[in-house]
Structure formats: structure tokens, C-alpha cells
């Protein structure tokens, strides 16, 4: 019977079809798991980005404060302030003496 379908061929094709369907189901499950993992990783990266941004802002703020303190404590600024203070102390002493005379 050349025109008829052999039982072995039907079983082989059926087994192959079941294998393809099972592999497809496994692939869909694995793809779903991978998508969930990717979503979780994206959330984690977003969280890390936020923490890095906060750290960078804190570092920039600290640098700005440090630069301000460095400018305030610069030798030329301190020298000028000391001279101004000395001048004011002389003026105060002069005014005290002036008041004592009168």
C-alpha cells in the first residue's frame, strides 16, 4: 500500500509535533522569565542611577562649600582682614584716648 499512511509515520509526525509544541511552551515560559528579569534589572539600574545622582549632587555641594572656605581662608584674604582689624583697633584706641581727654 503505497498510497496509504503508515502507522509508524503517523506516530513519528505526532511525536515531532508534540516535541515542537512542548519546546514552544518552554521557550515562551523562558522568554516570560527573561522579560521579568529584565524588568527587575531596569528597576535596579534606575534605583542606582538615582543614588548616583544624589551622591554627585552631594559631592558638588561639598566641593562648592570647600571652595568657598578655601577662598575665605586664602592667605591674601586673611592678610587683608588682619590689616583691617588692626586699623580698626587703632581707630578705637584713638577714639578712647580722645574721649578721655574731654
Q: Give the per-residue pLDDT at 3.
A: 55
Write out pLDDT tens, residues 18-54. Answer: 999 999 999 999 999 999 999 999 999 999 999 999 9
Interatomic CA distance for residues 69 and 84, integer angstroms: 20
Interatomic CA distance for residues 25 and 66, integer angstroms: 61
Write out pLDDT tens, residues 69-88. Answer: 999 889 998 999 999 999 99
Interatomic CA distance for residues 77 and 52, integer angstroms: 36
Q: Give the per-residue pLDDT at 2.
A: 57
Q: Give the per-residue pLDDT at 65.
A: 96
Q: Quote the DSSP letter at residue 65.
A: H
C-alpha cell at 70: 578655601
Interatomic CA distance for residues 26 and 29, integer angstroms: 5
Amino acid at each position: 500500500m503505497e498510497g496509504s499512511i503508515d502507522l509508524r509515520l503517523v506516530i513519528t509526525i505526532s511525536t515531532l509535533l508534540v516535541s515542537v509544541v512542548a519546546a514552544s511552551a518552554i521557550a515562551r515560559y523562558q522568554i516570560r522569565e527573561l522579560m521579568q528579569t529584565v524588568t527587575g534589572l531596569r528597576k535596579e539600574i534606575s534605583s542606582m542611577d538615582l543614588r548616583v545622582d544624589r551622591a554627585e549632587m552631594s559631592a558638588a555641594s561639598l566641593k562648592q562649600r570647600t571652595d568657598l572656605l578655601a577662598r575665605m581662608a586664602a592667605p591674601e584674604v586673611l592678610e587683608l582682614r588682619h590689616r583691617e582689624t588692626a586699623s580698626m583697633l587703632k581707630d578705637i584706641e584713638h577714639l578712647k584716648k580722645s574721649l578721655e581727654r574731654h
